[in-house]
């Protein structure tokens, strides 16, 4: 923190003189004034009027904090971001992306600059160090996601319970009883506390148990390669599985191509339902994946609205949970009755 | 632009009084001073000292301007962005993403706020309205990409000529003579002036002619669907094609799955070489695409360095052109000699 004393020393004048200028209590010569102002500039000293101007300054810019170096910025993330940017624009705000880490260190530096009016938090952890930083700096914020402790925190999130319920219900209705969840990798330190992984797995275990179907969870990183390996492990360890639920977007593509490469006919021999995927990602798979469509466009818009309402002093947006709806593709069919999988074979041309 | 007159009216005082305060030419009462300062704040008026303080303020934040609502923010874009953010971090800067449109309107508003020390421009157009705005506001900037008029502009870019030369040379060396380029869609107003499309197509026409091979260009939007349609059109209109060069990332995935769905055996019957694709995208295709690997990590880092050198007053980074290197996948093979394609058929299970 730069003091008047530092400014006086730098400018080679008395503290009193600096005080005269800052408080307009006594006129000072133009030359002295220039020296002092240069010293303030060099030292980054903010006289009160500047501090006030900066503090009260509304930039009409809001930031989306997304840990882009840790979390994959895929199609779903892009949907959240672009719909948020679009919603901000419609309300005459600019939304910028801050690729700050989940630990909050960089976030602290950025909010300290008073550059934005508020922050939309993405990829929220159950206990998120970023929250305390935003509260301490009195930075308005809204979460797309949920911490465990939610008292009074503005948030919108995916309704994981309803989403998983719809997914299992749909497969169960077709006759599937041997379901497996290929979930996220909670052992990865970047994700050990990540809400969507924890909530999806918990919902799956509870609802699968309610339906009385097999409960098997395979953890898997969010890459195509990891998904392919998970597919191999799945069919090796649970060969009678008739349907796979996959949480992560790129793991889902990997499970599909992995089963394909292993010679399984999807969906005739095994069904795949991607939980929380963007249609653009589903279209990359062949056959096109049946998905629970990530409500990214809805949540990006709602999260931005929740923040802007705070900034505008409007009525707060009540917390919203949005479920993912089933978007049919070509990877779900009824299970083959009383028939186990043929030995895995390799298709011609693969 | 807010004037002293506006401030005076808002504060309910005379212009002279405002002038006394701003120029310290006459003392004004604390109450009047407060009224005037509130008016300045409400109107966003900057008295000189504030303006100077803001102008001289170094935020150590740089922005990457990326038209995320017009251009797809795919894996390649994510590579540029994350490597740029990483490079900035290493030099004690923060990089943020500004999803501003290509017309520069939003960019003008953002730079006007003096929030960042400089800007890295992505998705540069041959004549880019953003350049003039950055120059007029004296905002330091570096381009990842190139305008036609480059005099004195700091830039790094893909070496399209060398990249296309390597791609065609590689296919020609394997015996391919019937090449087709599935290029970007220059009729789309968002891309009509987009450097990579124009430069890649020009390089292809020139180099293909030099090699004396067929010159065919199909324009195609950057979506999987459009790529699948392009594949169908390609085999309908140019059935003797032995190799396809695809410029766009997602169009490339579509061409691969499209040829696959049409029953063509890739690469036995037709080879695919994706120009400028990220490995993560290539891995989404089955069989995995052979690509000219987009030098996103290199260029994101270089573009950031070019900007930071300006900010630090270091020696300017000379313009750099980086060629894409071939990254082998499973979609290239020598052409079938003296054999036309079998009638397209539908593979079982598709």
3-state secondary structure of A81: helix
Query: How deeply is A344 buried, as exposed, middle or buried, from its count of CB atoms within 10 A (0-12, 13-18, 19+)?
Result: middle
Q: Is A246:A182 a contact under the CB 8 Å cutoff? A: yes
Residues of chain B contacting A110 with CB distance shorter than 8 Å:
61, 94, 96
Chain B, residues 112-141, CB within 8 A of chain A, namely: 113, 115
Structural domains of chain B sorted by starting position, each given as residue range(s) with its CATH number in brackets: 4-56 (1.10.260.40), 61-158+296-323 (3.40.50.2300), 160-294+328-348 (3.40.50.2300)
* pTM passes above 0.90: no
Tell me which chain B residues have a C-beta less than 8 angstroms from the C-beta of A100: 94
Q: Does residue A201 contact residue A181 with C-beta atoms inside 8 Å?
A: yes
- 3-state DSSP call for residue B133? helix
Q: pLDDT averaged over chain B?
A: 88
- State the pairing for strand pair A290-293/A325-327: antiparallel
Q: What is the pLDDT of residue B228?
A: 94
Q: What is the pLDDT of residue A132?
A: 93
| Nearest CB to B50 within list A49, A109, A113 | A49
Interface of B with A in 22-51 (CB under 8 A): 24, 27, 33, 37, 40-41, 44, 46-47, 49-50
Does A339 have pLDDT greater than 70? no
H helices, E strands: number in chain A = 13, 12
Is any Cβ of chain A less than 8 angstroms from the Cβ of B91? no
Contact yes or no for A56 and B41 at CB 8 A: yes
Rama region for A243: left / alpha / beta (φ>0; ψ in -120 to 50; rest): beta
* Residue B343 pLDDT exceeds 70: no
Give B65's contacts (C-beta < 8 A, 6+ positions apart).
Answer: B98, B100, B107, B119, B120, B121, B122, B130
B336–chain A nearest CA distance, Å? 15
Which pLDDT belongs to residue A350?
35
Contact B99 A97 (CB under 8 A): yes
Residue B147: the pLDDT is 96
| Whether A160 contacts chain B with CB within 8 A | no
Q: Judge whether residue B344 has pLDDT over 50.
A: no
Long-range CB contacts (within 8 A, 24+) of B342-345: B342/B269, B344/B235, B344/B262, B344/B263, B344/B264, B345/B263
User: Nearest by CB to A109, which of B85, B94, B115?
Assistant: B94
Token pair of B135, please? Answer: 């120059």
Rounded to whole angstroms, how far apart are CA atoms B276 and B176? 20
What is the rounded CA–CA span in Å between residue B313 and residue B307? 10
As a whole number of angstroms, the distance between CA B14 and CA A346 comes to: 87
Residue B71 forms contact with A (CB below 8 Å): no
Nearest to A85 among B69, B89, B283 (CB): B69
User: pLDDT class for A232, splitting at 50, 70, 90?
Assistant: very high
CB–CB of B284 and A40 under 8 A?
no
List A residues 273-312 in contact with B (Cβ-Cβ < 8 A): 280, 283-284, 286-287
Is residue A105 within 8 Å of B72, Cβ to Cβ? no
Each residue of B116-147: pLDDT tens digit?
Answer: 899 999 999 999 999 999 998 889 999 999 99
Task: Pick the closest to residue A179 from A219, A209, A222 (CA basis).
Answer: A209
């Amino acid at each position: 923190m730069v003091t008047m004393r530092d400014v006086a020393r730098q400018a080679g004048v008395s503290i009193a003189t600096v005080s005269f200028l800052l408080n307009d209590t006594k006129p000072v010569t133009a030359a002295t004034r220039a020296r002092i102002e240069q010293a303030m500039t060099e030292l980054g000293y903010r006289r009160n009027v500047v501090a006030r101007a900066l503090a009260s300054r509304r930039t009409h810019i809001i930031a989306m904090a997304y840990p882009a170096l840790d979390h994959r910025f895929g199609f779903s993330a892009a949907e959240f971001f672009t719909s948020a940017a679009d919603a901000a624009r419609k309300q005459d705000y600019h939304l910028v992306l801050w690729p700050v880490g989940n630990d909050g260190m960089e976030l602290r530096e950025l909010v300290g600059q008073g550059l934005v009016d508020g922050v939309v938090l993405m990829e929220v952890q159950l206990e998120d160090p970023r929250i305390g930083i935003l509260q301490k700096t009195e930075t308005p914020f809204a979460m797309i996601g949920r911490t465990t402790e939610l008292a009074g925190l503005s948030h919108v999130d995916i309704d994981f319970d309803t989403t998983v319920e719809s997914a299992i219900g749909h497969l169960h209705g077709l006759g599937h009883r041997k379901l497996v969840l290929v979930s996220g990798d909670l052992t990865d330190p970047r994700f050990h506390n990540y809400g969507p992984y924890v909530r999806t797995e918990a919902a799956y275990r509870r609802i699968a148990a309610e339906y009385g179907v097999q409960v098997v969870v395979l953890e898997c990183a969010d890459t195509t390669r990891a998904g392919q390996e998970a597919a191999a492990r799945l069919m090796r360890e649970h060969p009678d599985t008739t349907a796979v639920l996959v949480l992560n977007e790129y793991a889902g593509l990997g499970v599909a191509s992995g089963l394909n490469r292993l010679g399984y006919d999807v969906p005739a021999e095994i069904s795949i339902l991607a939980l929380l995927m963007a249609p653009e990602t589903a279209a990359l798979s062949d056959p096109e994946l049946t998905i629970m469509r990530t409500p990214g466009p809805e949540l990006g818009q709602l999260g931005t609205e929740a923040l802007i309402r705070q900034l505008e002093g409007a009525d707060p947006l009540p917390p919203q949970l949005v479920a993912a709806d089933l978007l049919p593709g070509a990877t779900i069919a009824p299970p083959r009755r009383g028939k186990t999988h043929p030995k895995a074979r390799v298709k011609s041309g693969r």
